[in-house]
Amino acid sequence: MSLPPALRALVRDELAEVEAYAPHEGSFEVRLDANEAPDLLSRDARARLASAAVEHGMARYPDARARALKDALARRAGARPDELLVGVGSDEVIALLLSALDRPRKKGQPPAIVTCTPTFVMYRVSAKVRGYVVVEVPLDAAWRPSLPSLLHAVEMVDPNLVFVASPNNPTGTTMARDDVLALARAAKGALVVIDEAYAPFAGASLGDLFGAAPNLAFLGTLSKIGLAALRVGWLRAHPELIAELDKVRQPYNVPAVTQRMATVALTELSAELDAVVRVVREERARLSLELERMGHAVTPSAANFLWVKPARPATEVFAALAERGVLVRAFPQRGGRVAAQLRITVGTPGENDRLLAAMARCGG
Ligand SMILES: Cc1ncc(COP(=O)(O)O)c(C=O)c1O
């Protein structure tokens, strides 16, 4: 049934260029496609989280200011609570930023973002559906953000926001500290957002650059370290900017169950979360070595996934793995050098063995 014209006329033109997010359908024994952490929490930790979930009771709204969760995140991030905004995943925080900072540019031009390509798609999608112009700067030959190209784009576009993921999804590459600073200093009229979703796997964070420039902000999430089901993401930015963004946030955005469970995870179970990260880093090194031994090209990764150019065409390897019950991520629709790559999330040791065995058998 087609949409009546009067309703069609209400829908933003930009939505024609965007597709709703659709995870890969089908049942796979080994899912290494979504950059989640392997589910390694102990029975005791699960039991503690289950009891935390009911502590708040069901009849009352959550704490609108998420104070306990902010305190716990602030301690983990070495931040002050008033520098933090918490959202339902960093996806929500990205949407909030784009909603609040969408002033038209000079001469009534629509608002704009500058970001990299390939990178996390939600910067582009979330910006597009709000009427932003999206300028995507290709990564360099080593799949790293290119400072000269970013500076050039910033100068040409005069964007409202710049988004750089470091480590970057899907490539696992990072941006150099000096480049982050140079970008923030050059893009004075923009908020420069460094997305550190995967920083726990990098061994080093850029977060200590916070405060080096007032327009430098950082995104973080609990999704990649074993708590994706909770949907907790945050922004660290200038406290007065946080106060403005708080006006755009829905008052009860983060559910009470999530606030309670995440607070307990951060305060009582941090050793277990750190252990998950350690296992992933060890497994990343093993997977990387084995895949290279098989003749595949693996980009050095600072994240919880590998960016792999298989020896055979990526679509064939993807299909052969899927037939053997292993789902990874392919990018056939992207064309160019990206279409030749696969992104493989690091799983449990057992899942990684399954992947390696399937790779060996399909002659990938
Ligand atoms: C770079 C990056 N940022 C943010 C996210 C989303 O995180 P969240 O689950 O907190 O919305 C992802 C998810 O894949 C990501 O790759």
**Looking at the domain that runs over 7-40+271-361, which CATH code has it been given?**
3.90.1150.10
What's the pLDDT score for residue 302? 98
pLDDT in tens, 297-322: 999 999 999 999 999 999 999 999 99
Q: Which atom of ligand 1 is nearest to the CA of 221?
A: 10
Separation between Cα atoms, residue 14 and residue 127, nearest integer Å: 10
Neighbours of 94 (CB within 10 A): 25
Separation between Cα atoms, residue 80 and residue 232, nearest integer Å: 17
Distance 36 CA to ligand 1 centre (A): 10
Nearest CA to ligand 1 atom 7: 90
Separation between Cα atoms, residue 217 and residue 166, nearest integer Å: 13
**326: which 2 tokens?**
């292993």
Three-class secondary structure of residue 12 per DSSP: coil
Kindly list the domain boundaries of the chain, sorted by start residue: 7-40+271-361, 43-269
Look up the pTM and report it.
0.96
CA–CA distance from 91 to each of 69, 70, 80, 221 (Å)? 18, 18, 22, 9
164, amino acid identity = V
Q: Which atom of ligand 1 is nearest to the CA of 167?
A: 1
Q: Give the residue, out of 85, 120, 174, 234, with the most ligand 1 atoms within 8 A of its beta carbon, to mutate for a pocket test.
A: 120
Across the chain, mean pLDDT equals 96
Which residues lie with the beta carbon below 6 Å from any ligand 1 atom?
35, 89-91, 120, 165, 169, 195, 197, 221, 223, 228, 233
Angle at 335 between CA 333 and CA 336, to 5 degrees: 160
**Looking at the domain that runs over 43-269, which CATH code has it been given?**
3.40.640.10
pLDDT in tens, 130-184: 999 999 999 999 999 999 999 999 999 999 999 999 999 999 999 999 999 999 9
